[in-house]
Amino acid sequence: MSTSAEQTSNGDLLLEMRGLRIEGQSEGGWQEIVKGVDVTLRRGEVLGLIGESGAGKSTIGIAGMGFARPGCRISGGTIVFDGMDLRAASDEQLRKLRGSRIAYVAQSAAASFNPAHKLIDQYTEAPIQHGIKGRAEAEKDAMDLYRRLRLPDPENIGFRYPHQVSGGQLQRAMTAMAMACRPDLIVFDEPTTALDVTTQIEVLAAIKDVVREFNTAAIYITHDLAVVAQMADRIMVLRYGDLVEEGNARDMLADPQQDYTRQLLSVRSYRKQEAPPDKSEVPLLEVRNVTASYGGTVKVLEDIDLKIGRGRTVAVVGESGSGKSTLARVITGLLPPSEGAVLFDGEELPASYKKRTRNQLRHAQMIYQMPDTALNPRQRISDIIGRPAGFYLGLAGEARETRVRELLEMIELDPDEFIDRFPGELSGGQKQRICIARALAAEPELIICDEVTSALDQLVAEEILKLLQRLQDDLGVTYLFITHDLATVRAISDEVVVMLQGKVVEHGGRQDIFTPPHHQYTDLLLSSVPEMDPDWLDNLLAERAARKARGEAVMESADQ
Amino acid sequence: MGNIWNHLKSAPPTAIFGLVVIAVYVFVAFFAPVLTPYGESEIVGAEYEPWGEGFVLGTDNLGRDMLTRLVYGARNTVGIAFATTCLAFLIGGAFGLLATAMGGWVDQILGRIVDVLMAIPTLIFALLILTILGTAIPVLIIVIAVLDSTRVFRLARAVSMNIVVLDFVEAARLRGEGTGWIILREVLPNSMPPLVAEFGLRFCFVFLFISSLSFLGLGLQPPTADWGSMVRDNATLITYGDITPLLPAGAIALLTIGVNFVVDWFLHKTSGLRDEH
């Protein structure tokens, strides 16, 4: 915990924040969201800030640039960057600093690039603005950096518009942009959170190299301990705006001092007991030779065959664009397939949900990825959960309220406290629980879970997975689990279906899928999941390079 | 109640000014007969009497009391504008939401009808229809409401388009809910803030529209007191440097500003709430 204090005497100190306090505006006035945190950063050092949402990690990272988001204010402490007091600095001084000596890489590159300008025009803006380089020189420099960040076709990619390159490429282009003025410090705010695992590797490796090469100091903000283990020299674990633990990355991973850190470390270790195989002859759900497309001729799904047995959890895993969500849309009837059929309990379902009977609709319920948009913000919890109970099962008045209370208890929320609330008054995890209760209210046999944990913090996500598992044990529901997160698959599935470009490439029991030999693509997916070992990324890349050198086929991310 | 009071206390001065203006207008409109010394179309003196004894604001071109006419004008113009706006929102809002919820050809047909209506300049179209159908008050209300509902339709459709694609609406569809439920329970409550803000603005436009129609002679017919026609009737006085004809114009301007202040405040509040989520 005290390593930083000893190192502050070093002459290469770059950023020092002492007793940092930041307040955020809420309905009852100002509330402290960062409660006196000390941060020190030396030149060339990478500091990982880790914590769940609301821990204040982004707020602290941005404060390192002397900035507070609208609705926030820095209320106490000092921020000294390279001998300059940022809190006392004028706007003009800060403007000179930002972009040239301190840069920022945001979570969503797609939202942070201006869609109306070419990448290279946005790259050259900062160097020209700050008078560091001329246009021609800056362009040449851009191509050089694009090459270093391993972007394909570095001479020409800059002349594309943001929508013409993929998400992983865009994130690297944004990193290049941040490097444009060779800043002393870059703040990375969850730069890979929105990317697929296979793409994430490339971006992580590129960032790691380029930061090391230019000896740039970095603050790396993330909620994923395995990712930060690859990137950071030192890690600060934050919770509720307070420091939990700070230390050298390797030491902390090997020997965490605090319970909370230990919890974060063990978060991916949950495993379910395998459900007994379905003994009945007819599977609960059968997808037979389904081919589907959105209007055009490009097939999003091609000849999909799938059987799901009663009481089982089948995980469909794949990257974005693999067609896994489209499969859910076909099963629910939102997208009628061009060929093939969906059978429920041996009986063919009408292709469109509009033609299905109320009972057919009742049996397959859906839980969505974003609990924020899945709940009507203007309805009370009692109505949200009560409606399906009333709609399908005819419950009304007292019976309906009793049922809602029962469901709330099932999802471990206190009925008296929650029944009259609006969704806006709940946390993300609580909202997802309400979504589960709404699905259960219909008393379905099948629940389709579309990335239900990916918008949640890891600890919360694990609670949700455990809850889903308990409900399966109690009620015998069947889950179709759509996800890109292999840790979730490992935790909860009985069977795994691996999808790539609209086709099923592998289907088998969890054990079979996770033990070699795999299909080539499964191998790529599995090996790309970050592990807590700080050397994991380097080893993995070395191994892949070695295999390539030996002339073995190595599958690469489509995003490359 | 306490909640509303809290909102009012934190309101900026402009919004309070707007609220006071609206309250005064409503009060005046309600109690017009009590507040005025004479009858609405009663001729009480010579033409164009100056301000002073007996006639606080003088008399108009027919010798009617200006103050009385102004007060009744509030009742007529504001009342009709309010009724028209409500009707416009009923028509435009209902069809706009229906277009989004149904989609497909319903949306196409409704959209094209609105395009046709909007392609013709509103004032000229209104003049045409009113010339054909006459200028009875119900006709006036319906014609303006239909013309204005095209704008409401577009807004309601645009706002609800963004809501209808959200997961909770999809969840309701998959549950098997009918179009009525989806419009009334899922989409409408979530499109209220922009629609309410638009209501305020629309009200001003309708109000000005009726006044311009009256000024052109096709709005409210004499002897009904109306601010637009009052400006026209007494326009000659402007030549002599008398500001009396500008009073009804001022009354229109003041209400428009007041309503806009309140709308601004409301928009600010609702968009502020959106940031928090």
Q: For B19-42, what is each residue's pLDDT tens digit?
A: 999 999 999 888 888 888 787 778
Per DSSP bridges, beta strands A84-85 and A72-81 are antiparallel
DSSP code for B59: B
Q: How far is A105 from chain B (nearest CA, A)?
A: 22
**Structure tokens belonging to residue A374:** 């899945």
Res. B223 pLDDT band, cuts 50 70 90: confident
Number of folded domains in chain B?
A: 1
CA distance B181 to B188: 10
DSSP label of A369 = S
Q: Which of B114, B138, B135 is nearest to B126 (CA)?
A: B135
Helix (H) or strand (E) holding B150: helix B137-164
pLDDT above 90 for B94: yes
Q: Within 10 Å of residue A542's Cβ, how many Cβ atoms?
A: 11
Q: With an 8 Å Cβ cutoff, are A442 and B168 in contact?
A: no
A457 phi and psi, to 5 degrees?
A: -65, 155
Q: How many residues does chain B have?
A: 277
**Closest-CA distance of chain A to residue B265, Å:** 17
Q: How far is CA A474 from CA A385, A410, A431, in A?
A: 19, 10, 22
- Name, of A165-169, A313-317, B197-201, the range with top average pLDDT: A313-317
Residue B5 lies in a domain: no
Q: Using CA atoms, how far apart are residues B6 and A266, in angstroms rounded to an integer?
A: 47
The overall average pLDDT reported for chain A is: 87
Distance between first and last Cα of chain A: 40
Tokens of A297: 């001729």
- Do residues B140 and B210 touch, judged by C-beta distance below 8 A? yes
Helix (H, G, I), strand (E, B) or coil at A488: helix
Average pLDDT over residues A471-480: 92
State the nearest Cα–Cα gap between B83 and chain A, in angstroms. Answer: 28
Chain B residues with CB-CB distance to A373 below 8 A: 166-168
pLDDT of A406 > 80? The answer is yes
Query: Chain A: residue nearest B277 by CA?
Result: A424
DSSP E strands, A387-477: 446-450
Residue A560 pLDDT: 52
Phi, psi of A396 (to 5 degrees): -145, 160
Q: What are A298-309's pLDDT values in tens digits?
A: 788 989 999 999
CB A377, CB B169: distance < 8 Å: no
- Structure confidence at residue A236 (pLDDT): 93
User: From CA B231, how far away is CA B207, in angstroms rounded?
Assistant: 14
**Residues A378, B190: C-beta atoms closer than 8 Å:** yes
**A534: pLDDT confidence band, cut at 50, 70 and 90?**
confident
* pLDDT of A141 over the 70 cut: yes
Residue B38 forms part of a structural domain: no
pLDDT > 80? residue A437: yes
> Which residue intervals of A37-118 are DSSP H helices?
57-63, 91-97, 109-112
Q: Decide if pLDDT at B2 tops 60.
A: no
Whether residue A377 and residue B171 make contact (CB cut-off 8 A), yes or no, is no
**Would the pLDDT of B170 be above 60?**
yes
Please determine whether the domains at A10-266 and A285-527 fall in the same fold group of CATH.
yes
Chain A residue with the nearest C-alpha to that of B178: A354
Q: Is B97 among the domain residues?
A: yes
Between CA A166 and CA A319 the distance in angstroms is 13
pLDDT at B117 over 50: yes
Put simply, whether A476 touches B (Cβ < 8 Å) is no
Distance CA B104, CA A417 (A): 43
pTM (whole model) above 0.90: no
Characterize A74-107 residue by residue with b for buried, 16 or more Cβ atoms within 10 angstroms of its Cβ, and e for exposed: beebebbbeeeebeebeeeebeebbbbbbbbbbb
Query: Which CATH fold topology does A10-266 show?
Result: Rossmann fold (3.40.50)
Query: Looking at the complex, does the CB of residue A358 fall below 8 Å from at least one CB of chain B?
Result: yes
pLDDT band at A8 (very low <50, low <70, confident <90, very high): very low
The first and second tokens of residue A458, run together, are 């890891």
Per-residue confidence band for A558, with pLDDT thresholds at 50, 70 and 90 = low
* Two tokens, residue A462: 């694990």
Count CB pairs under 8 A between chains A and B.
47
CATH topology of domain A285-527: Rossmann fold (3.40.50)
Let me know if residue B150 belongs to a domain: yes
The nearest CA of chain A is from the CA of B188 a distance in Å of: 10
| pLDDT given for residue A553 in this prediction | 66
CB B88 within 8 A of CB B203: no
pLDDT cut 70: percent of chain B above it: 96
pLDDT band at A11 (very low <50, low <70, confident <90, very high): low
Domain that holds residue B81: 70-276
Residue A314 pLDDT = 93
A71 interfaces chain B, CB cutoff of 8 Å: yes
Could you give the 3-state DSSP secondary structure of residue B229? helix
Query: With bands split at pLDDT 50, 70 and 90, how would you rate the model's confidence at B271?
Result: low
Surface of B (146-185) touching A: CB under 8 A:
166-168, 170-171, 173-177, 185
Owner of token pair 């507040």: B35
pLDDT digits (tens, 9 = 90+) for A184-201: 999 999 888 878 888 888
Q: Search chain B and give the residue with CA nearest A355.
A: B176
* B190 interface with A at CB cutoff 8 Å: yes
Range with lowest mean pLDDT among A280-284, A478-482, B59-63 = B59-63
Most B CBs within 10 Å: which of A373, A379, A384, A450, as the mutation test of the B interface?
Answer: A373
**Cα–Cα dist A160/A406, whole Å:** 56
Q: Which two tokens stand for residue A210?
A: 């380029």
Task: Name residue, tokens 């455990």.
Answer: A466
Joined tokens for residue A406 = 């029962």
This model of the complex carries an ipTM of 0.78
Chain B contact for A373, CB < 8 A?
Answer: yes
Among B167, B175, B186, the residue with its CB nearest the CB of A370 is B167
Of all residues in chain B, the one with the smallest CA distance to A26 is B276
Chain B residues with CB under 8 Å of A370 CB are 167
Which residues in chain B are closer than 8 Å to A378, comparing Cβ atoms?
189-190
Average pLDDT over residues A321-329: 88
Q: What is the pLDDT of residue B219?
A: 81
Test A373 with B166 for CB contact under 8 angstroms: yes
